[in-house]
Copies of this chain bind each other. A is one copy, B any other.
Amino acid sequence: MALSYDFELDFKVRDYECDLQGVVNNSVYQNYLEHTRHEFMLSIGLDFADLFKKGIVAVVARIDLAYKTPLVSGDEFTSKLRVEHQGIRYMFYQDIYRKADDKLCLKGVVTTTTVISGRLAVSEEIKEALERVNAKRK
Identify A34's interface contact among B16, B60, B62, CB under 8 A.
B16
Nearest B residue to A18, CB-CB: B20
Identify A20's interface contact among B28, B42, B73, CB under 8 A.
B73
How far, in whole Å, are A106 and B130 apart by their CA atoms in the complex? 28
Q: Does A117 contact B (CB under 8 A)?
A: no
How far, in whole Å, are A57 and B23 apart by their CA atoms in the complex? 11
Q: Can you report 6 residue pairs joining A to B where beta carbons are below 8 Å apart?
A: A15-B20, A15-B38, A47-B73, A61-B67, A62-B64, A64-B64
A: which residues have CB within 8 A of B? 14-16, 18-22, 25-28, 30-31, 34-35, 38, 42, 47-49, 52, 57, 59-67, 70, 72-74
